[in-house]
Chain A
Amino acid sequence: MNVLDFHDGDGVRWRSPSRRLLLLRRAEVAAMTVVAALIAGVGVGLRVGALAGAGAAVLAVVLGLLGEQVVHRRFSAWGYVEREDDLLVRRGVLFSRLSVVPYGRMQFIDVTAGPLERSLGLATVKMHTAAAASDARIPGLERAEAARLRDQLAELGEAQAAGI
């Protein structure tokens, strides 16, 4: 196995969550920005003056746009690769993490979907090992892909199962 396998290129294809997850995250930020801009604009506008109110609203919108950037970068940071013996999951912008979870160590696999995720046909897959610190979660997978991944992991896990 090559060291470079952990990074882009060199034959390893990082799969990423569905674009709809980005859509969902963006919508969340947008909704929050609108609410924040309204509250800031109206609140400051009534107390100080119309101009200051408009400024506060603009500030909130600018912050929201920055938030969109952050959300976008965080979305691009997510990735996973199914290798022969283990699953790689990467995440995080400020603190970047890369987990290596051998199939043989998987104890069970959770597939969950919150109401928002469900409305977009998405699901989160989470692998559990005997170690509490293991951190292998992939959000925003399309439902079919989540089911495929779950079955695939369960099968590989069973084939390579090692004791605790």
Chain B
Amino acid sequence: MTVSDGWQRLHPLSPIVRGGRGTIAVVVVLLPTLFRGGVSAGELIPLGVVGVLVVLGFVSWFVTRWRIDEDDLRIETGVLRRRSARFPLAQVQAVDIVRPGLARMLGVAELRLRMGGATGRAGRLAYLPAGNVEEVRAHLLALAHGVPGTVAPTPAEAPEGRVLTTVPTGRLVGSILLSDVGFYVEGVLAAIVVTAVLEPSLAAAVVSGGGLFWLLGVIAVTWRRFNQEYRLTVAEAHDGLRLAGGLVALTSETIRPGRIQAVRMVEPLLWRPFGWYRLQVDLAGQQRSEGEGQAQRRQLRTLLPVGGREQVELLLDRIVPDRPRDPSPPPRRARLKSPLRYRMLGWGASESCVVTTTGRVRRTTCWVPLEKMQSLRRVQGPVQRRLRLASVHVDTAGRAAHAALRDRDVGEADRALARLADLARAARRPDRSKSQRG
């Protein structure tokens, strides 16, 4: 199948994969019937429901068509309310391949177009044959960059470009066991075991009465984290950083440098003996659209779930090349207001980037490229006024990372406010021509 010859349909198994958990539930409902071979009267209703679902799935597959024109991707769908969506390829920010567990079993993959603009809506082709998806992706990217058909299809699975960092599984397991969520699970499990030894009846009561579901929930959170961060690999490609990883659900995503609003490095207390860090980036736009997976909905994307300092530096060199060195500490009297985190507070600025550090237990360092700064706020509370201190907050479009120059001397805060406003203005200027494209 070549990629640009008129209208095409999705893979026939698409509705099954889209059904996800629903499909599995249907199979579970049908299994006893299949094994017994006969149909009893009580099973007619569930069977009827399943039949209707199958027909609906088939119809939704049948009416959905897509094609690639010269400069846009068109997707048509719907029976009663026919919907035709056009995705101009010039506005494509990235083309991601997503493969949930069920899709991998059935040999299909989803292609997701990330569009620029404030709405950040995403075009989904769910699902295409797995063997075909890399070819379509390469074709779309080639058209998006204005060079039709010159990009050769790349081999599937292997992330293109030079691999920068990856996560050894042993270290990932260790890091999760030593994380806050992991500790929670371990603590609860230990408590249950101890109770079971000392007072078996009480443990049984706790486990049977709701406690079990709660425990399962916590384990599920831990599992999800492991599943997403398993063998997470960052590679450098011509159009940005390419992320690929996952145990059951494979995802691959490209992060253009211009999409990064802020970078956050976290160092939890228990990781410090090992010299481990976690590196996350905050991305622009709300990529919230119908039916998108959980993993794609978060704005904070983990680049490095756990890694050493040199790996962090390697990635930081790509994202924020011009980093300010040696954050300056606040005045000593700030100790009275923030006794715990005083030691970690600091900030620094270079021509293009501001860095802030905070946190006693979870040391957090936050870099914000000044061209991404949205606004500045200088805030002074009553205690700070008494101590002649003030904080300056750097607001970005991202939500999770928060850069703040906490508890600085009043004069320094004012100077910082003026200087950051100036630097940000200078940093925005060259950005203007670039952002016209995206």
Contacts and interface: CB of A to CB of B under 8 A. Distances in A.
Q: Do chains A and B stick together as partners?
A: yes
25 contacts: A1-B422, A2-B418, A5-B418, A85-B421, A96-B379, A99-B375, A100-B417, A102-B421, A102-B424, A104-B428, A105-B374, A105-B375, A129-B395, A130-B284, A130-B374, A131-B375, A132-B399, A133-B375, A133-B393, A134-B374, A134-B375, A162-B371, A164-B284, A164-B372, A164-B397
B377 to A, nearest CB: 5
Interface of B: 118, 258, 261, 284-285, 371-382, 385, 393, 395-397, 399, 402, 411, 414-415, 417-418, 421-422, 424-425, 428, 431-432, 434-436, 438
Given A3-B415, A164-B284, A100 B399 contact: no
Contacts, number: 103
Contact of A163 (B375, B377, B385, B435): B435
Contact of A102 (B118, B375, B435): B375
B405 to A, nearest CB: 13
A131 B397 contact: yes
Nearest to A1: B418
Report, nearest first, the 4 A-B pairs whose CB atoms are least far apart: A163-B435, A131-B374, A130-B397, A131-B395
A162 B371 CA distance: 9
Contact of A1 (B118, B399, B411, B421): B421
Interface in A111-147: 129-136
B373 to A, nearest CB: 8
Contacts of B385: 96
B379 A95 contact: yes
A86 interface: yes
A163 B431 CA distance: 8
A48 interface: no
Given A94-B381, A133-B377, A134-B374, A86 B421 contact: yes
Contacts of B432: 161-163
B417 A98 contact: yes
Contacts of B396: 131
A113 B431 CA distance: 36
A5 B284 CA distance: 32
Contacts of A162: 371, 428, 431-432, 435
B93 to A, nearest CB: 11
A97 B395 CA distance: 14
Count class of interface residues, chain A: 20 to 34
A96 B402 CA distance: 20
B374 to A, nearest CB: 4
B300 to A, nearest CB: 14
Contacts of B381: 94-95
A1 B414 CA distance: 12
A98 B378 contact: yes
A163 B417 contact: no
A131 B27 CA distance: 46
Contacts of A94: 381-382
A101 B428 CA distance: 13
A102 B422 CA distance: 10
A51 B89 CA distance: 81
Given A1-B422, A102-B421, A164-B397, 9 more contacts: A1-B418, A2-B418, A97-B377, A98-B377, A98-B417, A99-B375, A99-B378, A104-B428, A164-B284
A135 B425 CA distance: 19
Interface in A49-76: none
A134 B118 contact: no
A129 B393 CA distance: 15
Most buried by B among A131, A136, A163: A163
Contacts of A101: 374-375
A6 interface: yes
A107 interface: yes
Contacts of B424: 102
B262 to A, nearest CB: 10
B199 to A, nearest CB: 49
B374 A129 contact: yes
